[in-house]
A and B are shown apart, each in its own frame.
Chain A
Amino acid sequence: MFQTVFFLLLCSLLIGLGLHIWMMRRTHGKHIYLMAFLLLNSALVLTTFLFNMAAPIPAEGILLAVIFTESFVVVHCFVLVGVVHDSPTLAIVKALMANEPEGLTEEGLNRFIKAHPFVTSRLDALRTTGDVSERDGRLFLTARSKFILALIGTYARIIRVDRETG
């Protein structure tokens, strides 16, 4: 059974990922996370149906495939966050690479800062995901972001993290 589930997952993930990459390139990254969920799960349903026609898969095997696929969707979305949104650190690295071998000057750094409005882009993302609401030019935390911050507060107390802003 596990061998069948292994090859089912291999086929399903390859089909799902292929479809997702094709759709992302066509739609320029719109609804990227919802598409990941829908396409990877559609590929799982399709391949399970096809494999089941050849030889019935026990419910236990299907449950394992579902848990694996949903875990993969989350991991895939985490990787996509890093791909879609430029990390400030990696953007700096790319600016330094672009200025090799001379080195990045102060003027070049200032141009780089102007061309990379990270704060505005992250604020837009917080508005889009519903983690902040805006009224009369003021930003407010939502119930979801308050919950996230409560979890983070507990974690920070455990490991005693305190870092400089930025």
Chain B
Amino acid sequence: MLIIFITIILTLTIAVLFDLLVARFTGKRILGYVASFLITLIGFPLIIILVTPAANDVFEIIIALGIALMWWFIYLNAVQAVESSLRIRMLMEIQARGGALSVDELHAAYSDERLIRIRLKRLEEAGAVTTVGGLRRLQSKKLLNAALFFTALKRIILNKTSQFDGVGN
């Protein structure tokens, strides 16, 4: 079992290094995420089969691959949080002002209006949203499916469709 965990750590180290190198030299995050995912998904079983061809059974590889993919997912979430989490951005704002900030100053730096309009601008720049005659329309099927998926999960788990259900419309 020790060999399995050494292989998981080795594979993930390669995957993370590849992701960081892609980020540093190309600035493209999606490419790095996809490459690191594929390294974990395909590279791990290949390495384990090559290292110990006789010792493994299929259930051992499935369980170990499950652990490797979960650890990759944890890395992905940590990285995503650093790059786009509003909470992390707010902590960075407090740090940038010397470690202390009034609530009003934080709201001045991070108003809901500014936040939403910046995100909307990014969606427009990415071609996911178009604006014609002052009317905004969604163009991205991927975002549509992601919204439907998370809304369905929220309905199943919390029996509501939005965190702000009940906030005046």
Q: A50 on the interface (CB 8 Å rule)?
A: no
Looking at chain B's contact residues, the main secondary structure is helix
- Could you tell me how many residues of chain A have their Cβ less than 8 Å away from some Cβ of chain B? 84
Within 8 A of A (CB), among B122-169: 123, 129, 132, 134-138, 140, 143-144, 146-147, 150-151, 153-154, 156-159, 162-164, 167-169
Chain A, residue nearest B143 (CB): A93
Chain A, residue nearest B157 (CB): A24
In the bound complex, CA of A79 to CA of B159 (Å): 16
Q: Are B70 and A82 in contact (CB under 8 A)?
A: no
Residues in A with CB closer than 8 Å to B129 are 92, 96
In the bound complex, CA of A89 to CA of B80 (Å): 14
Q: B10 on the interface (CB 8 Å rule)?
A: no
In the bound complex, CA of A121 to CA of B103 (Å): 13
Q: Are A96 and B136 in contact (CB under 8 A)?
A: yes
Given A29-B158, A71-B74, A119-B112: A89 touches B63 (CB 8 Å cut-off): no
In the bound complex, CA of A123 to CA of B103 (Å): 9
- Could you tell me how many residues of chain B have their Cβ less than 8 Å away from some Cβ of chain A? 77
Of B20, B71, B110, the residue contacting A166 (CB under 8 A) is B110
What 1/0 mask marks residues of chain B from 75 to 93 whose CB sits below 8 Å from any chain A CB?
Answer: 0010100111011111111
- Taking the nearest CB of chain B, how far is it from the CB of A127, in angstroms? 10
Of B89, B103, B104, B167, the residue contacting A117 (CB under 8 A) is B167
Q: Are B143 and A90 in contact (CB under 8 A)?
A: yes
Q: Are B154 and A83 in contact (CB under 8 A)?
A: yes
Given A2-B57, A91-B162, A96-B129: A152 touches B82 (CB 8 Å cut-off): yes
Given A82-B150, A118-B112: A63 touches B87 (CB 8 Å cut-off): no
Residues in A with CB closer than 8 Å to B106 are 119, 123, 139
Of A103, A126, A159, the residue contacting B20 (CB under 8 A) is A159
Given A21-B156, A138-B100, A139-B106: A165 touches B89 (CB 8 Å cut-off): yes
Q: Are A134 and B63 in contact (CB under 8 A)?
A: no
Of B23, B102, B168, the residue contacting A137 (CB under 8 A) is B102
Residues in B with CB closer than 8 Å to A105 are 134-135
Looking at chain A's contact residues, the main secondary structure is helix
What 1/0 mask marks residues of chain B from 93 to 129 whose CB sits below 8 Å from any chain A CB?
Answer: 1110001111110110111111110111001000001
Residues in A with CB closer than 8 Å to B1 are 60, 63-64
Q: Are B88 and A152 in contact (CB under 8 A)?
A: yes
Residues in A with CB closer than 8 Å to B132 are 103
In the bound complex, CA of A166 to CA of B119 (Å): 7
Q: Are B67 and A67 in contact (CB under 8 A)?
A: yes
Q: Are A83 and B153 in contact (CB under 8 A)?
A: yes
Residues in B with CB closer than 8 Å to A86 are 162-164
Nearest 4 CB-CB pairings of A with B: A103-B135, A166-B118, A2-B59, A159-B23
